[in-house]
Every structure is written in C-alpha cells, then in structure tokens.
C-alpha cells in the first residue's frame, strides 16, 4: 500500500463526488452538499497557488482515497486539513499523506519553520496520526470547535518543527515551566 500526493487540478466532479459521498463527523460541516462544495470551489478554497495547495491522496497510483489541503503558505507556519474517505480510514493512508506533506513542505519551502494542524479532541484517529508523524501536542483549546449539531468541542493543536524533522528528533514542551 503506497500513496502519492497528486495536485488537484479543477476536477470539480471528482471533488463533489468525494466530499458529498460521505459524512465528515470531525469537520465543521459534516454533511457536504453539492451547493456547498461548488460555493467553496468558486471561492477558491481548493485552488493551488502561492498561499495554498490542494492534493489528492492517491493509492497505488490510481485510486483517490483522500484530500489534503495546506494553507497559509505565505506564513512561516502553514496549516493543513486532511480528509481520508471512510472506506479507507484506519489503513495508514492518513499517516503516509501527512509524512509526505511534511517532506514536501520542508523540502520545497526553505522559510517554513514548522507545520501546524488541529483536530477535535475526540478525533482519536487523527490524534494518533499526529503522534505517529512526530507532531507534538502543543495546545488544548477549550470549547473552540463548533460542529454541525450545535455542540462546541475542545480542539487539540499539534505541530512539527523543521529542526526536529531534519534531526529525526522530537522536542517536547515543558508544561510545568511556570506555576501559573
């Protein structure tokens, strides 16, 4: 099982089918409609340019199993969003995609010092992916992630440093550096 990241190139029908064909329980909009996706496309959400890039996660050079967006590329600390289709979750595609994204950013952008990502606190699969990709848990944001059902969830922030990636190290955070 190998994956590659293939740049998204105005594949509107494929994108609509992928995003509307399943429920995304850990995203702000869990049930995507064609109207929502078309509006996002028109607003440039999936355009690749200097500020953001969108990639398909491709299994065995043919099957689209997920979508990965990296944004804030004009900043030294870009962020990303990943979606792996339900039928492919739990098979390691997300971890491979995150590792490939980290390599892509740190290899192609000399000014990037870290990569950040956030997830809902109850998204244990993504939290495990962050951990296994050598991202460090840096933040807990209480009641910060609204969901479609009206509930507000805690979110967890993770990051990987360029220096850690280059050295194969993990710099842990001293949570007890100050008593208040």
How far is residue 113's CA from residue 170's CA, in Å, rounded to a whole number?
Answer: 14
Question: What is residue 175's three-state secondary structure?
Answer: coil
Alpha helices (H) along 9-156: 12-20, 34-42, 93-108, 124-132
Element of type H or E holding 78: none
Confidence class for position 37, pLDDT limits 50, 70, 90: very high
pLDDT at 123 over 90: yes
Measured N-to-C along each axis, helices 12-20 and 34-42 cross at an angle, to the nearest 10 degrees, of 140
Q: List Cα–Cα distances, 174 to 33, 178, 179, in angstroms.
A: 43, 9, 12
Specify whether the CB–CB gap between 80 and 73 falls below 8 A.
no
Residues 143-160 have a mean pLDDT of: 95
Residues 6+ away with beta carbon under 8 Å from 156: 118, 119, 120, 121, 127, 137, 139, 140, 141
Q: Residues 131-143: what's their mean pLDDT?
A: 97
pLDDT digits (tens, 9 = 90+) for 78-113: 999 999 999 999 999 999 999 999 999 999 999 999
Complete domains list, the chain, with CATH: 3-167 (3.40.630.30)
Average pLDDT over residues 51-76: 95
| pLDDT score recorded for residue 175 | 87
């Amino acid at each position: 099982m190998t994956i590659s990241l293939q740049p998204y190139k105005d594949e509107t029908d494929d994108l609509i089918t992928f995003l509307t064909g399943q429920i995304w329980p850990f995203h702000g909009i869990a049930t995507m409609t064609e109207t929502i996706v078309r509006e996002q496309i028109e607003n440039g959400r999936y355009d690749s340019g200097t500020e953001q890039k969108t990639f398909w996660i491709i299994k065995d050079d043919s099957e689209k199993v997920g979508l990965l967006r990296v944004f804030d590329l004009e900043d030294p600390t870009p962020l990303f969003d990943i979606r792996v289709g339900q039928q492919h979750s739990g098979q390691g595609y997300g971890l491979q995609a995150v590792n490939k994204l980290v390599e892509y950013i740190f290899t192609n952008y000399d000014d990037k010092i870290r990569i950040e990502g956030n997830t809902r606190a109850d998204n244990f699969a993504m939290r495990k992916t962050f951990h296994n990709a050598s991202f460090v848990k840096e933040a807990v944001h209480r009641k910060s992630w609204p969901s479609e059902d009206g509930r507000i969830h805690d979110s967890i922030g993770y990051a990987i440093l360029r220096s850690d990636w280059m050295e194969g190290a993990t710099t842990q955070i001293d949570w007890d550096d100050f008593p208040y």
